[in-house]
Amino acid sequence: MHCSTDGVVPNRSFERRPSSSMAGRRPSHFFKIILPSTMDDKKLRIPAKFVREFGDELSDVATLTVPNNGHFWQVGLEKANKEIWFQNGWQDFMESHSILYGYFLVFRYEESSKFHVLVFDNTATEIQYTWSKKRKLEDKVDIMESDDAKRSSRRDKLKENEMSNSDEFSGGKHEENRAMVSRGRERAVQAAKMLKPTSPSFMSILPCHIREQRRLYVPVRFAKKHLIGRPFVSLQTCDGKQWHARCSHFSRSSYYITNGWEEFRRDNNLEEGDVCVFELIKMNPVVLYVSIFHVSV
C-alpha cells in the first residue's frame, strides 16, 4: 500500500456532494505529516484532492483554531499552479505549538476558509494546547534560575524572617534593599527578553551569592543538545573579547560552565540579579556570545 505524508480522509458515503455549499454537508478532513522540507520552506501544502474539491471556496486568508485555548491564527494562502499552501503566518502557528519534524496534523475544514487543527507529537499523542504571547520567544530561549539560585532564595527568606524577629528598623532596611534588587532584576529580565536571539540560547538570572559562585548552571536541554562531547567553551562579549572556560557535568541533570567562569564574572562586574543571555554562535570550537543586562540598567 502506498503511504503518503498527507491525504484526505474519505467520507463514509460514496455519494458525491455538491461543493458549492456547506449546507447539509459533513466537514471534510485531511492530514499532514511534518517533514524537514516543511520546516525549511516555512509553509505547508494542502493536498491536491482537497484543493480540487474545495479550492474554489478558499479565500486568500485561512483561519486556524485548535482545541480548548480560545486563540486563532490568520494564515495567508498562496495559490499557484492549481496548488494552495498555508504560508504567511504558518510559521507563527508552528512555533506557537512547538511543532517539530515528524508531527502529525489533522485538519477539519468547516466553512469560509476556517480549519480546526489537531496536533499529534512524535509519540502519536495529542499535544497540550497551551499558548501565550511569550511562547514564541521561550521556545528559543530557556529562561532559567539555577538550583543554586533557588537554594539562595530559600536562604534569603529564612534571613528575612530572622531579621523581622530582631531589630525592626534593620529588618525594614533589608526588605527595602531586597525589593530594590527584585525590581531591578525584573527590569533586566524584561530587557533580556527583548533581545530575541535567532541562534540556540539560554538565559541565566544570577543568584545573590554570585561572588562566591565559581560555576554557572546550564539548562539540561541546551547542554545535551549542544555541549555534550565538547569540554571547552569560549564566552564572548560585544567588544569581541573572549574568556576560555570549561563545560562540566556532575550528573545526568547537572551541567555547568566552570573553569574560567569566575574570571568572566569578575571582569564584567556581574552582580546579583544581573541577567545574561548565552547565544551559540559557533560550534567548533564552541563560542557563546553573552549579552549582559545589569540590575542597575
- Using one digit for the tens of pLDDT, what is the confidence trace for 88-107? 889 888 888 889 888 999 99
- CA separation (Å) from 200 to 38, 140, 278? 20, 6, 8
Which residue has better confidence, 282 or 69? 282
List the alpha helices (DSSP H) in 165-219: 168-193
241, pLDDT greater than 90: yes
| Domains of the chain with bracketed CATH | 6-131 (2.40.330.10), 136-293 (2.40.330.10)
How many residues can be counted in the chain? 297
Question: pTM here?
Answer: 0.44
C-alpha cell of residue 182: 527584585
Cα–Cα nearest to 288, from 207, 208, 191, 216: 216
Burial environment of residue 283 by CB neighbours within 10 A (0 to 12, 13 to 18, 19 or more): exposed
Burial classification of residue 257, based on how many CB atoms lie within 10 Å of its CB (0-12 exposed, 13-18 middle, 19 or more buried): buried
Please tell me the number of Cα atoms within 13 Å of 284 on its side-chain side.
1
